[in-house]
Amino acid sequence: MNRRMFIKAVAGGCLLGMVTGAGKLTASPQLRPPGALPETDFLAVCARCGKCQEICPLSCISLLHLDAGLAVGTPKMNPLVSYCDLCMKCTEVCSTGALRSIPKEDVRIGVAHIDNDLCIARRDDDCQTCYRTCPQYGKAIKLERRKYPVIDPDYCTGCGMCEHVCPADPKAVHVLPREEG
């Protein structure tokens, strides 16, 4: 049994478990690669083929493990490991339409949130790392009183660069899935 057959079998088992009440009813919201369908549709359409993970030049895609229930084998983004530079190669190899080809400016992988209690700049130390490295410079992260970084969700692509480079320990900024309307 190859990997794809195995994952399909496991996902089928999860579905059976869901029907019988023995498995997970819902998967936790995940950060999906660019152009992903809404979560419910994504779970139904993604073939768990792993092509998006294989093609990603920045290795920012990993595949969910068995503990993800129905979402096993689907791709997720992990900004702690790497960020996405919107090369859109993953959308090009996705043959199912789970990842759609969309203009880069429309990519909304998630949205960054800053925890002001952890933000170094809020402790009046010198840090504008996220502000300076954000690819949407001056738009997705603005400086309040020229010093304190604040996210503008309208421009944030969810690329993960800010989380990846944040020097605070623990990280003061995280990219979270957007709420689906």
Q: In this structure, is the dihedral angle defined by the CA atoms of residues 78, 72, 8 and 1, taken in order, positive or negative?
A: positive
**Residue 172 interacting with ligand SF4 (CB under 6 A):** no
Encoding tokens for residue 167? 């020097």
In whole angstroms, the minimum distance from the beta carbon of 27 to ligand SF4 comes to 14
Residue among 22 and 41 whose Cβ is closer to ligand SF4: 41
Q: Which residues pair with 141 in a beta bridge?
A: 151
Question: Which member of 23, 96, 142, 148 binds ligand SF4 (CB under 6 A)?
Answer: 96
SS3 state at 121? helix
Report how far residue 166's alpha carbon sits from residue 128's, in angstroms, rounded to the nearest whole number. Answer: 9
**Residue 31 interacting with ligand SF4 (CB under 6 A):** no
Interacting positions 114-133 with ligand SF4 (CB under 6 A): none
Estimate to the nearest angstrom the gap between the alpha carbon of 165 and the chain centroid: 16
Question: Which residues of the shown chain bind ligand SF4 in the complex (CB under 6 A)?
Answer: 33-34, 46-52, 55-56, 58, 60-61, 75, 84-90, 93-94, 96, 98-99, 112, 134-136, 140-141, 151, 156-162, 175
